[in-house]
Structure 1
Amino acid sequence: MSTNAPRTVVFVLVPGVELLDVAGPAQVFCEAGEYGAHYRLTYVADQPLVPSHQGLGLSAGTAWPDLSPRDYVVVPGWHVPDDTGAGRALPEAARAGVLAHHAAGGQVVSVCAGAFALAEAGLLDGRRATTHHEIQDELARCHPRVDVVRDVLHVSDGRIHTSAGIASGIDLALHLLAVDHGPAVAARTARALVVAARRNGTAPQESAMLRHRDHLADLVHRAQDVIDDRYAESLRLPVLAADLGVSERTLTRAFVAATGLTPLRYQQALRLERAEALAGQGWTQESVARAVGFSDARMLRRLRAAS
């Protein structure tokens, strides 16, 4: 299959599903199509109409589509009364579908309390994972084999990706979009959705490309658009400044004032983030280095040591 072919994203819906757990990532993947990153979104459940916790019914198919390892299965969270923790397990058919996709080499995603369903299915045993801050202690207590990472937006461990509360599904979807199609596409998608500002600023899982977009400097946004799109290339400051119609000094001063970084440091942050994402997918150090613009792994190691 061509790597440019659309990926399928399957949302597994359970009665009581939280609307934003579904709508946030779905909007990201849908909007990305405007920038050349095409995803097919589909929704599966045990019944054709699934009531959400907010009262809006969601239509779904009852048969799973054919999936490849490139595709995603997303398990949004759903509302469970405090005294019914057992209700966090997926229905049997949905559980089997999620496990089959992962066993076939596919990627599995959870949003908020959806992490409990993955943990119950055994997919988080021995893995790092996160969930909403109000239930992260419960996740650790109920599933002691899970390495619960607290107070971060999202965590990726191999082909399992978990996110924190509610709207953090947007952050995780943007991260996956950046891994699939590069930081430029993800940055443009985020700007279109008006979610450029990053939350939880100390989280190691946050996106470098968006962490430094929390400003209103048009010149710097235009410079970042170029760097995001060509982060793996050798971008000389004089050429970048000339393309933007300003002096090197003007560009550097504006960039540092808006982001706290020089253009070169910003590009290096993008390269390092992309390198970590690829390494997490099992790429060799040499192949990672070449993918982010280095001739070999030595420069990448030096950059990591200096960061």
Structure 2
Amino acid sequence: MTRVVFLLVPQLQLLDLAGPAQVFSTAADLGLGYEIGYVAEQEDVTTAQGLPLRAATEWPPLSAGDLVVVPGWRESTVRGDGGPSPAALERLAAHHAAGGTVASICTGAAALGRAGLLDGRRCTTHHDAQDELAARHPGAYVVRDVLYVVDGRVVTSAGIASGIDLALHLVAGRHGPAVAARIAREMVVYARRNGDEQQTSAMLRHRAHLVDAVHHVQDLIDARFTTRLRLSELAAASGVSERTLTRHFTEATGLTPLRYQQELRLERAEHLISHGATAEAAARAVGFQDARMLRRLRART
């Protein structure tokens, strides 16, 4: 039996907790021997989303095979004083010193840093908090724009939903990728992402603008990026000329509509290749006739 203990703090992000908890709960339902517990300084803990939770105030006995997980809290950076108390931080450090594994989701990495567990280690956190984490813990090597990092028995992940990826990775390491894939299917998770995949997809990276017509065209490309899309079709849908669309799209995103579509195709192809597909199969799956264009795009990036 493996214990997975979640350390809850006030204003914790609900999905930071619920995602990984669902993974280990599903693993327990499959008979894989997981026992889940929740501890906090006080019995009642309010999440950032306003949902009250109840946790134990006494820590269960832990062994070297057990896992302690620290979900993140509302503080968007790691500057604030939120998070676990000094006593809880001592518990984290003691569990690791005894051979146990500790993990964090999102800004939960700040707790691991305060417990002295990040010095000399690779780690990550939410992309909005990476600079601050690196400044506060110069002895740590903050890996940017990845989903999760495993450095020995210290495991850190990016923001919110990446906790699901981290938990699936830990299950795969213990029980094999087929079991993790089965849990992902049970959870209706699209795919189990690798740790070195980017925190923000191409669909999100180019949305930091306020041009409605361009957002509308991006929606069309996002939904159909594996098919051939004519510029005239996109311009008609947005109600402007092809030249005007190209100008507005480039000003808003830094890319032409074609380059945006190619970036989506490339990102999806890289994902398929990382999960075992050949370059040829990945190229065809994202809409290329063969792998030549895919190879050119990969070389260019």
Question: Could you say which TM-score interval applies, normalised by the shorter chain?
Answer: 0.5 to 0.7
Task: State the alpha-carbon separation in 2 of the partners of residues 10 and 54 from structure 1.
Answer: 21
Could you tell me which runs of 5 or more consecutive residues in structure 1 were left unpaired when the two chains were aligned. Answer: 1-5, 206-254, 263-307
Matched, 1:187 2:181: yes
**Given the superposition, is the C-alpha separation of residues 23 and 81 from structure 1 closer, same or farther in structure 2, using an over 3 Å criterion?**
closer
**Given the superposition, is the C-alpha separation of residues 194 and 143 from structure 1 closer, same or farther in structure 2, using an over 3 Å criterion?**
same
**1:17 — aligned with what?**
12
Match of 2:109 among 115, 119, 143: 115
Q: Aligned runs of 1:74-153 on 2, under 5 Å?
A: 74-80=69-75, 85-153=79-147
Task: State the alpha-carbon separation in 1 of the partners of residues 194 and 172 from structure 2.
Answer: 19
Task: State the alpha-carbon separation in 2 of the partners of residues 177 and 199 from structure 1.
Answer: 13
TM-score computed with the length of structure 2 as normaliser: 0.64
Number of residue equivalences: 206
Q: CA RMSD in A?
A: 2.5
Structure 1 residue 259: Cα displacement: 5.8
Task: State the alpha-carbon separation in 2 of the partners of residues 45 and 34 from structure 1.
Answer: 25
Q: Is the 8 A contact 2:7 2:70 kept in 1?
A: yes
Task: State the alpha-carbon separation in 1 of the partners of residues 192 and 181 from structure 2.
Answer: 12
**1:42 — aligned with what?**
37
Structure 1 residue 184: Cα displacement: 1.3
Task: State the alpha-carbon separation in 1 of the partners of residues 121 and 130 from structure 2.
Answer: 14
Structure 1 residue 117: Cα displacement: 0.8
Match of 2:191 among 182, 194, 197: 197
SS at match of 1:189: helix
What percentage of residue pairs aligned between the two structures are identical?
58
Structure 1 residue 201: Cα displacement: 8.8
Query: Deviating runs (4+, > 3 A) in structure 1?
Result: 198-202
Structure 1 residue 36: Cα displacement: 2.9
Task: State the alpha-carbon separation in 2 of the partners of residues 259 and 160 from structure 1.
Answer: 27
SS at match of 2:188: coil
Larger radius of gyration: 2
What does the per-residue CA deviation read over 1:181-214, in whole Å, with 9 as the maximum and x for residues that have no partner? 1111111000111113255896399xxxxxxxxx
Q: Which amino acid aligns with 1:27?
A: Q
**Given the superposition, is the C-alpha separation of residues 89 and 47 from structure 1 closer, same or farther in structure 2, using an over 3 Å criterion?**
closer
Match of 1:26 among 7, 11, 21: 21
What does the per-residue CA deviation read over 1:150-170, in whole Å, with 9 as the maximum and x for residues that have no partner? 011100000000000100000
**Given the superposition, is the C-alpha separation of residues 67 and 191 from structure 1 closer, same or farther in structure 2, using an over 3 Å criterion?**
same
Matched, 1:58 2:75: no
SS at match of 1:21: helix
Could you tell me which runs of 5 or more consecutive residues in structure 2 were left unpaired when the two chains were aligned. Answer: 200-271, 280-301
